[in-house]
Amino acid sequence: MPLKIITADITTLRVDAIVNAANPGLLGGGGVDGAIHRAAGPALLQACRQLPESTPGVRCRTGEARITPGFDLPAHYVIHTVGPVWHGGTQGEPLLLERCYRNALRLLREHGLRTIAFPAISCGVYGYPTAPAAAVAIATLRDELSHAQQAGITLCCFSDNVSAVFQHALDAAAAGDTPFSAT
């Protein structure tokens, strides 16, 4: 399956698009968002400013995605998405997180792109616990890959600990496929 998990700084990846775990204003922030803006250069902020606001200060609602060029990044494009803030799992967080992955992949397809790298959306400042976030990410990406031919999806974690949690989720999901082969 063209889905791999790595430990790296996502701003170094030479893929068609990297995904930014942004906030609704899309004007930068901390974490991976800050790193992407620093590496892409000030033109990225200019491009984000030009995206239309749906309500004052909101360019991308939770679960949605927007695309800009990558400017000084090795990646050609940045797909900005806004993950859910973790409120204990009672505010529809899993579905909102799923939408982030699906809407990013929809934009990838619509732009004729093939390779994409995701960070662990919502797993930093937004406080989504890593294991349930990994389960949502893996289930959603496996489902997308079963419907569409994507050339390559990379889950780019920033530490080996987070990578291990995502790898465990991938291994568990893959093992869940095996009962059919036993019959």
Catalytic residues, which ones? 33
CB 176 within 8 Å of CB 168: no
Judged by CB under 6 A, does residue 72 bind ligand AR6? no
Which span (23-31, 101-109, 137-145, 175-183) binds ligand AR6, by CB under 6 A?
23-31
Measured from the CB of residue 23, what is the shortest distance to ligand AR6 in angstroms?
3
Judged by CB under 6 A, does residue 78 bind ligand AR6? no
Judged by CB under 6 A, does residue 129 bind ligand AR6? no
49 or 177: CB nearest ligand AR6: 49
Judged by CB under 6 A, does residue 97 bind ligand AR6? no
Measured from the CB of residue 147, what is the shortest distance to ligand AR6 in angstroms?
25
56 or 179: CB nearest ligand AR6: 56
84 or 173: CB nearest ligand AR6: 84
Rounded Cα–Cα distance for residues 32 and 21 (Å): 7
Measured from the CB of residue 131, what is the shortest distance to ligand AR6 in angstroms?
13
3-state secondary structure the chain: CCEEEEECCHHHCCCCEEEEECCCCCCCCCHHHHHHHHHHCHHHHHHHHCCCCCECCECCCCCCEEEEECCCCCCCEEEEECCCCCCCCCCCHHHHHHHHHHHHHHHHHHCCCCEEEECCCCCCCCCCCHHHHHHHHHHHHHHHHHHCCCCEEEEEECCHHHHHHHHHHHHHHHHCCHHHHHC
Measured from the CB of residue 112, what is the shortest distance to ligand AR6 in angstroms?
25
Measured from the CB of residue 133, what is the shortest distance to ligand AR6 in angstroms?
9
Residues 6 or more apart from 171 whose CB is under 8 A from it?
none
Please identify which residue in 44, 115, 116, 119 interacts with ligand AR6, judged by CB under 6 A: 119
Q: Which residues bind ligand AR6 (CB under 6 A)?
A: 9-11, 21-23, 29-33, 35, 83, 119-126, 156, 158, 162
